[in-house]
Amino acid sequence: MTIHNKKTLWMIAGGEMQIPTAHCIKRKGYNLIISDKNPRAPCRKYADKFFCIDIVDLEKSKSIEKYFKNKISGIFTIASDAHYTANYFAKKNKLHHTKLNISKICKDKNLTRKFLKGKLSQPKNYLISSYEDYIKKLKNFDKGYALKQLNLSGSKGFYEFKSNHKLSKKQFSKILNFNLKNKKILIEEKLLPKRNTLSEMSAETIWQDGKIIYFNCVDRIFPRDTMAYKNLPKSLYNDYKAGFEIGHINPSLKSKNEILKIKRIMLKLGNLLGYNKMKKCHILKADIFFSEKGPIILEMTPRLSGGYDSTGSAIIRGIKLSEAIIKISQGGRFKKKELKYYFKDNNKKALVISKYIENKRLFYIAFGKKKINNLFKDIKLKIKKNILLKNEKYFI
């Protein structure tokens, strides 16, 4: 690849969810480097240079840095778990980045729990490293419990059990050794969702020169949510494992008062992490569980959301996050008149439903200014006819 005078961006991860951003980068005339461990990554066709490297492998990724030293103007990830890698190399190359300590806290569930302890509501939790630890801690959970890998997001490495379910030593060892990089896991109380509401939300914010910009709250749908049982084909969610997301509704259906509570939580969270003291623009996203005791932060991360919320349904709503991340990665700021262009929605709603087949996640989407019940009817029809979401059709 020959680097001309055009600016060059390095996007870490090149899956289907990154297609709209890759296309946007090329449309705007940038050179694009992509790294992804999948040699047939969907975004590879957009790359000027592609590196087949795991997005979290720092050592192997150094070859990319060496190859393009002093020629990269921005490094970022979107809708993937590579925020530490992106911030690590951006810092190393004196490019705009979010503090590495924030990425370090956010990518480790135990560090997240330690950081939030006594500051924001937390599930009861313990760090355990042996079967003996596990047996001792079981008595503390009378309403069920979950076992979680420390450095995997969402449903990866997540296991949920009833309070009277005791694993054998062999079963526990299999879970403990699921990720050989860690020899410890978290055991947490099983959270019970608040009645008559969707149980989880993703809230996304951008902080500019210490001030928060709220732009997106998305309701996530899980098998435990009554709305799923009432409005979706049973065949869709019957075989879902605990913690696997069925889909999402963008924007959230929560009331203005509920959204206001979440905004206050995001403001407090950002202040605790130091976003209020950081220059230029930085992303903060959190997954929040609506429990019987109130909202609880499950995960937080300095990147935009996956699951097609940021790179799919947000685009349909008129929010230009791919363009925004290009600007942010290069240390840009948003002028007041630009905020409407990047973050103002068009009043459309989007319903995204996913289906897992042989470890592959397929997506269906319905959108418009219709009532949510009508969007569910549209989705049921698309599922019946197997009309899948196609990035190229809707988002580029």
Q: What digits encode the pLDDT tens for the residues 52-101?
A: 999 999 999 999 988 887 889 999 999 999 999 999 999 999 999 999 99
pLDDT digit string, tens, across residues 296-335: 999 999 999 988 899 889 999 999 999 999 999 999 999 9
pLDDT digit string, tens, across residues 186-245: 999 999 998 888 999 999 999 999 999 999 999 999 888 888 778 888 777 666 777 788
CA distance linking residue 139 with residue 269, whole number of Å: 31
Domain 200-394: CATH architecture, name and number where available? 2-Layer Sandwich (3.30)
Q: What share of the chain is helix, strand, coil (3-state, %, to 5)?
A: 35, 25, 40
The whole-number pLDDT of residue 234 equals 78
Class of 8-97 per CATH?
A: alpha beta
DSSP state of 319: -
Helix (H, G, I), strand (E, B) or coil at 299: strand
CA distance linking residue 183 with residue 129, whole number of Å: 6
The reply to whether 124-189 shares the fold of 8-97 is no
pLDDT digit string, tens, across residues 103-154: 999 999 999 999 999 999 989 999 999 999 999 999 999 999 999 999 876 6
How do beta strands 145-148 and 200-208 pair? unpaired
The whole-number pLDDT of residue 114 equals 96
Say yes or no to pLDDT of 3 above 70: no
Q: What percent of the chain lies above the pLDDT cut of 90?
A: 77
**Residue 132 Cα distances to 168, 183, 206, 243, angstroms:** 11, 14, 43, 26
The whole-number pLDDT of residue 338 equals 96
Q: What percent of the chain lies above the pLDDT cut of 70?
A: 95
The whole-number pLDDT of residue 395 equals 67
DSSP 102-118: HHHHHT-HHHHHHHHTT
Average pLDDT value for the chain: 92
Lowest mean pLDDT among 57-61, 260-264, 322-326, 387-391: 387-391
Q: Which residue has the higher pLDDT, 360 or 286?
A: 286
Contacts of 379 (CB under 8 A, 6+ apart): 232, 351, 353, 364, 365, 366
pLDDT digit string, tens, across residues 368-379: 999 999 999 999
The whole-number pLDDT of residue 238 equals 67
pLDDT tier at 4, thresholds 50, 70, 90: very low
**Treating both helix axes as pointing N-terminal to C-terminal, what angle do 321-329 and 336-343 enclose, rounded to 10 degrees?**
130
| Nearest alpha carbon to residue 213 among 255, 270, 253, 287 | 270
Kindly list the domain boundaries of the chain, sorted by start residue: 8-97, 124-189, 200-394
The whole-number pLDDT of residue 255 equals 94
CA distance linking residue 288 with residue 390, whole number of Å: 28
Q: What are phi and psi of 385, to 5 degrees?
A: -90, 0
User: Per the CATH hierarchy, to which homologous superfamily does domain 124-189 belong?
Assistant: ATP-grasp fold, A domain (3.30.1490.20)
**Residue 61 Cα distances to 30, 37, 48, 72, 334, angstroms:** 21, 11, 17, 14, 31
The whole-number pLDDT of residue 389 equals 82
Q: Which two tokens stand for residue 287?
A: 């997954």
pLDDT tier at 263, thresholds 50, 70, 90: very high
Average pLDDT over residues 277-297: 95
Q: What are phi and psi of 281, to 5 degrees?
A: -110, 140
Average pLDDT over residues 385-396: 74
